[in-house]
Amino acid sequence: MEIRRWIEVLRANDLLQEIDVEVDWRLEAGAVALMNQRVAHKAVLFNKVKDYPEWRLLGSTFCLYPYRHPWSMFNLLMGLPIDTPYRETRTEFLRRFTNPLMPIEIASADAPCKEVIKVGKEANLLDIPFLYTHMQDGGRYSTLHQIINKDPDTDWTNYGMYRFMVHGPRRAGWWAFMGQHGPTIFYLKYDLRGKNCPFCLCMGGDLSLMVASMVSVPAGVCEADVAGGFNQAPLEVVRAETNDLLVAAASEVVIEGEVLAGKRSDEGPFAEITGFVSGRSKQPVCRIDCITHRKNPILTFAQTGGSAHEGTQLAPAVSYQTYHMLTKLFRLPVADVGYFSDYWESIAMADTSPQAKSLVANTVFVHGIPLFTRNFVVLTDPDTYMDHGSTVLAELINCDPENDLHVTDMDVTAIPVTFHVTHEERIRGLNMASMWLDCTTSEKPQELVPRKDSFEYAFPQDLRQQVAAKWSRLGFDKPFDERR
């Protein structure tokens, strides 16, 4: 779904705050978006941007719901009823995710992203209202986009989301860490061989492509294929002007250029999705060769710094993938996986034996879907309902730190947005130990295990059925939600 169609869907569901008052790209648009994410939970379309009369900004693109129901965004994206429950959304998400469709290439003349083409010295990043979003930031950034590059040996094309710092009219920094696919292709297949790496950055062309570029897709699989599967229709792509990469034809903006072999420059600081500042480091440098965009383009941006941002809203996708990995690929005894954050995993165990728990935790650490969750796993009883309150309760009530806290000495790669390692380890990507909490209760003396109390435990089954039967007659417009 392209961003303009998404805006229509949001408008139809009263999930769009449209602002016609002029806002400044220097901090002000970010401040409005961040407060919106705290109190209003809508996407924000800024129709008038200071210094950039041709442009519009879309902030809080996915930040539609309070923390409890972030998967609703996927319901809208997949055309499901907005209140489809978490597990039903998961079934449909995984069905689409595991049935990719290859994109189809269309002619440049038919591609909306080619309405305006600026090549060479005409291409100027400062003509685009990239935001300055926090006063701790060392510059202006693009965040909600796909950066595309290709393995020259296999032609595997990767679409990933890595922050991009504007350095000047035709120069930018790329926050590129080994282990992530796009950066690994650059370092091993271009930089080591002394060759520049052609790249494209595109935004707004397809939200499923954005989702695919944020979650974990195996090496060798192209995110454009995954997006096609998610959309249940092939993604329309078009060839770039100055290299042979394919970009979403409906993109609002496409930036083309090369990542320069052997060149490094300052990147950062930037207040990241963790809610903390990630510091300055030396990162690869990009030269810009061409910019194409639509008329009256819309620049999407992620405003980090709060608990509800694009990262947390996409956490269900990460949990869906983790569930798929543990239950379908590794066939481990897992009953359910929670959806709360991209930094930790809550897993309800089907088998609470010590061997099973250790195996599940270590599988996540080694094969963890998002890079960030590799360090913290919470294991709970099979019948723990995977909402935030229930799992936090399980941690607080059922975890005895003296016996149930397990720290591994696995040398898992750290990245700068992991904040529990030393600063040097974070910057150098070293030594991220991992931790899992055993909040299951079957191994503990049962007389010491607290009894649960919730709607499901506090009332007999016949009374629960009686309340369910008359629920809508009582005047509630939200569906009955029994959690077992």
Binding region for other proteins (CB under 8 A): 126, 132, 134-140, 166-169, 171, 263-266, 268-271, 277, 279-282, 285, 287, 423, 427
Cβ closest to other proteins, residue 128 vs residue 394: 128
CA atoms within 13 A on the CB side of 471: 12
Angle, helices 223-231 vs 86-97, to 10°: value is: 130
Cβ closest to other proteins, residue 278 vs residue 322: 278
Q: Which residue has the tokens 């008359």?
A: 470
CA 202 to chain centre: 16
Q: Are 236 and 112 in contact, with CB atoms under 8 Å apart? A: no
DSSP state of 234: P
Q: Shortest distance, CB of residue 290 to other proteins, whole angstroms?
A: 17
- What is the Cα–Cα distance from 217 to 195, expressed in whole angstroms? 26
Q: Shortest distance, CB of residue 127 to other proteins, whole angstroms?
A: 11
Cβ closest to other proteins, residue 137 vs residue 387: 137
Angle, helices 207-214 vs 223-231, to 10°: value is: 130
Contacts of 462 (CB under 8 A, 6+ apart): none
At 352 the three-state DSSP class reads coil
Q: Shortest distance, CB of residue 311 to other proteins, whole angstroms?
A: 19
Cβ closest to other proteins, residue 175 vs residue 270: 270
Q: Shortest distance, CB of residue 143 to other proteins, whole angstroms?
A: 15
Q: Shortest distance, CB of residue 258 to other proteins, whole angstroms?
A: 11
Cβ closest to other proteins, residue 212 vs residue 285: 285
Q: Shortest distance, CB of residue 118 to other proteins, whole angstroms?
A: 17
Cβ closest to other proteins, residue 118 vs residue 171: 171
SS3 readout for 133-176: CCCCCCCEEECCCEEEEECCCCCCEEEECCCEEEEECCEEEECC
Q: Shortest distance, CB of residue 266 to other proteins, whole angstroms?
A: 5
- What is the Cα–Cα distance from 62 to 377, expressed in whole angstroms? 25
Neighbours of 185 (CB within 10 A): 26
Of the candidates 66, 46, 258, 34, which has an alpha carbon nearest to the alpha carbon of residue 134?
A: 34
Cβ closest to other proteins, residue 241 vs residue 258: 258
Q: Shortest distance, CB of residue 256 to other proteins, whole angstroms?
A: 17
Cβ closest to other proteins, residue 68 vs residue 264: 264
